[in-house]
A and B are shown apart, each in its own frame.
Chain A
Amino acid sequence: MLTKRIIPCFDIKNGRVVKNVSFLTNERDAGDPVELAKIYEEQGADELVLLDITATDENRGTLLDIVRRTADQVFIPFTVGGGVSQVDHFREILKAGADKVAINTAAVKTPQLITDAAKRFGTQCVVVSIDGKWDDGLQDWIVVIHAGKKPTELRVIEWAKEVERLGAGEILLTSFDQDGQKSGFDVELTRRVGEAVKIPVIASGGAGEMSHFYDVFTEGKADAGLAASIFHFKETTVTEVKKYLKERGVAIR
């Protein structure tokens, strides 16, 4: 049976792992990304996500070096994102050994990028990140870009359907309201998006304890759960979360 995936995520800045709380600047250094990746593979992580939060043309070389070193030493799939805005960036990152590439702001600004990358490299490696935020006035979730700083006209559920149509292979759905709050994933948002598309949905933002994964896999129907600080700062381990879920009947590797 296909299992639910547990995915530790690293935010990378100048070659080191950091964790932002609600995308603000309270950063703590959780170490070398490649070392951390190896530890997570041993713990049974199903996949990894590496996000370059300072992605610029100048430090692209640093990121590609991390991607190469990770691919050389870690034999589970990993996704790389941050500052990807051209098909050429996809090519570089995939060539360095990543399995998938995540795009966010660029997908909103240039939706054609999704289709171009899917045609060139296959839909399976195109992950579209969607940052969603609840809008009280509209009573709906809207898409925010530029690390949450800028709201758009897009509604999350409509945008999710659109990125699927354009060729996305997976959706990495982050609740901007929940991110960094440790009070649980946005189960309702995750479920609604999952019901709207046929491609897998990775839930992100808000994991603070093991039961949050249970909730998002059962009620939220997520295919995967992504978290950062809960793992980096050893509040719990991937092994513990998987054991907890298995005991409660969730399909887990």
Chain B
Amino acid sequence: MFAIIDYGMGNLRSVEKALETLGAEVTVTSDPNVVRMADGVILPGVGAFGDAMENLREAGLIPVIRDVVAAGTPFLGICLGMQLLFTTSDEHALFEGLNLLKGHVRMFQGDFKIPHIGWNDLTLRREHPMLNGVADGDYVYWVHSLVVEPTDPAVVLATTDYYGDVPGIVGLGNVCGIQFHPEKSSRVGLQLLGNFVNIVTAAKEGVNA
């Protein structure tokens, strides 16, 4: 079972439906016990970084997230959910994130259009099961004003170019993050979510074997 964490930050329905289209069994939940039981956990979300951390804290979800990640459960952050994986963010003020990946999240700055909205293409930086069936130049849909700066560049699996390299997919151990919206990226997006489903299935079989 996949748990999509509902913590009051935006559109969860599309992620849920995309996973269901891929044949996954999905529960949208804010119940820490349900999250703890899940074979794979997804942290989606759009909105403000500070509010998101506050909502996670109030719902008692932060310790559970740390526990499932420590237990090796595959964990995927999407958009704001990916940004929350990092150490700190300076959106409006300095906020602390989940610190599951080391790095800082900062606002785009420069004389160009912000947010970065639209379809932009991926450059693959590493080999990883998340990238199966995805090719250099595949287009995906982005909407964001914040960009992550991982301390260790090796966690960056794919980037796009928007006035510089923008990390699009990150991964370290059982933790992955996608900055763009796979649930809104048509075929390529469904391929990526399908890859996560496969990672979860493989991890579960590994545990049961």
Chain A residues near B (Cβ < 8 Å)? 1-5, 41, 46, 68, 71-73, 75-77, 94-99, 119-125, 169-170, 198-200, 223-224, 253
B10 at the interface (CB under 8 A from A): yes
Q: Does B7 contact A (CB under 8 A)?
A: no
Range class of the B interface residue count = 20 to 34
Q: Given A5-B118, A72-B17, A199-B113, do A122 and B10 touch, yes or no (CB 8 Å)?
A: yes
Check if B11 sits within 8 Å of A198, measured CB to CB.
no
**CB pair A94 B11 closer than 8 Å:** yes
Smallest CB-CB separation from B18: which chain A residue?
A75
Q: Contacts A2-B120, A122-B48 hold; do A75 and B186 have CB atoms under 8 A apart?
A: yes
Residues of A contacting B31 in the complex (Cβ-Cβ under 8 angstroms): none
Task: Write out the residue numbers on chain B whose beta carbons fall within 8 Å of the beta carbon of A123.
Answer: 115, 145
Residues of A within 8 A of B184 (CB): 75-77, 99
When the two chains form their complex, are residues A3 and B118 in contact, meaning their CB atoms are under 8 A apart?
Answer: yes
Q: Which residues of chain B from 45 to 77 have a CB within 8 Å of any chain A CB?
A: 46-48
Which chain B residues (157-197) contact chain A, with CB distance < 8 Å?
Answer: 161-162, 181, 183-186, 189-190
Bound Cα distance A75, B16 (Å): 11
Q: Are A170 and B117 in contact (CB under 8 A)?
A: yes
Query: Which of chain A's residues have a CB closer than 8 A to the CB of B161?
Result: 1
Q: How far is the CA of A1 from the CA of B163 in the complex (A)?
A: 9
With a cutoff of 8 Å between Cβ atoms, the chain A residues found around residue B14 in the complex are 71, 75, 97, 99
The answer to whether A46 and B119 touch (CB under 8 A), given A98-B11, A200-B113, A223-B113, is: yes
Candidates B11, B113, B116, B139; contact of A253 at CB < 8 Å: B139
The listed residue (A2, A5, A95) touching B13 by CB distance below 8 A is A95
Whether B2 is near chain A, meaning CB under 8 Å from some CB there, is: no
Give the residues in chain B near A41, CB-CB below 8 Å.
186
